[in-house]
Amino acid sequence: MAKIDLSPAASFPIGSAVEADTFVRGLLLAAVVLLAWISFRPFENLAAAPEVTSAGNLANQIGYSLLFALLAAWCLVHHPGRLKVLLRPVVVVTLLWFALSVVTSWEPSLAARRLAFTLVTLGIAAMALLLPKNVRQFSDVLAAAVLIVLAACYLGVLLVPNLAIHQATDFVAPELAGDWRGVFSHKNQASATMAMFVFIGLFVARVRSVGLGGLICLLAAIFLLFTQSKTSIAVLPITLVVSALLARIRRPAVGMTLAFSAVVFFNVFSVGSIYLEPVRKLLDLILPDASFTGRTEIWEFALRHVTERPITGHGFAAFWGTNEVVYGMGTSSAWANVAAHAHNDYLNLALTIGIPGSALVTLWLVLLPIVDFYRAPNEPAAAALKLLFVRVCLFSAYASCFESMLIQEGMLGFFLFMAAFGLRFLSRSRLTP
């Protein structure tokens, strides 16, 4: 079996070379997670009209590319062969399907650029797992980075509320006025990140310090509540309950069934409510807004266009935000045309990379991580780490029934990739003593 460096804390040999190596590893890992969470455009001014463009964020593209090159150079001298374990058949087939969706896309150049950026993100997530010397260093760097982001978010709310809290003057979605978003461009990004921070806080409490982990959980939970994001607030406790049950269930088939049943349930009661009249009537009785804040209109719009290209889709990440969708497709409301995504990633993937592509991604990022969770060792050094990773995967899978988190540029997609890859490493590797 291959070795990975996420081992329990051990005394390091004395020597400047070892100390320098440890410092460089920690610095690179901190740079990776801070870039993923803060990006190069924190505290965006949402009062300005957004530009309808497919060019993407140039600063993020350059920053991620430089970081990828830096990590690749580091990995070349630190056993890059360890990454081979990540190239499982489903990953290879999924990436090839992505490439096919680019070739058949209605906007091939746009799809190709976005696929290239996603591949860079995938590479960074994979290589970042080779950086920490042991579990304790991984915990320490994550804790420091999370506290930096939390401090920036709270200071933003306090000092520049017009840039850290949604305003009635926002050009898009002024109805979100009062919802906290911190350094992020939208409250849904902020809320999903805060949920991830709760998972990290629980991990830090178990590996490093109960007090430090508890502080992270408390600060993240408070900020999450002020984002007023219904999805993250509801999915967080469900994720904690399911992950706790998975840790106690000894039969993998039972655990997988339990974990995936929630995905099926949420999809039936979200997108399924459009066509299943009994479900719709039940939602009308129990929910104050059975349209899920207007999402049903977007789901209907997306489903109509899935039928146009059900196999290969419209192209990898090449539908929402394009001029043809925003200006060229008639609908009863501009809300559906200008949406950033389908607000259901399983549907969103079917729309962009086809139904087979959506099934492949679900297998790769939802089902197989549960398999790897059960294959990973139960020793103390691995237990806390694999619980962190599976919580990230479960939260992403469940929240994706209402948002887009599976194949997503930037922070949300990055941390999910890291978690899925981390579980794969743990299932196939042994920790260094």
Number of domains in the chain: 1
Least confident of 11-15, 106-110, 382-386, 422-426: 11-15
Look at residue 367 in the predicted model and tell me its pLDDT. Answer: 94
Does 5 reside within a domain? no
Least confident of 79-88, 141-150, 250-259: 79-88
Does 1 reside within a domain? no
| Per-residue model confidence as pLDDT tens digits over 398-420 | 999 888 888 865 567 889 999 99
Contact 164, 235 (CB under 8 A): no
Q: Highest mean pLDDT: which of 173-182, 193-202, 251-260? A: 193-202
Tokens of 84: 């081979």
Does 320 reside within a domain? yes
pLDDT more than 90, % of the chain: 49
Tokens of 220: 């993240």
Contact 399, 405 (CB under 8 A): yes
Does 373 reside within a domain? yes
Question: What is the dihedral angle through the alpha carbons of 81, 87, 88, 90, rounded to the nearest 10 degrees?
Answer: 180
Does 11 reside within a domain? no
Does 338 reside within a domain? yes
Contact 313, 352 (CB under 8 A): yes
Rounded-to-integer distance, Cα 316 and Cα 407, Å? 10
| Confidence tier at 107 by pLDDT (50, 70, 90) | confident
**Boundaries of domain holding 75:** 17-431
Rounded-to-integer distance, Cα 377 and Cα 250, Å? 13
Mean pLDDT of the 208-231 span: 95
Does 6 reside within a domain? no
Does 12 reside within a domain? no
Look at residue 271 in the predicted model and tell me its pLDDT. Answer: 83
| Per-residue model confidence as pLDDT tens digits over 85-94 | 898 999 999 9
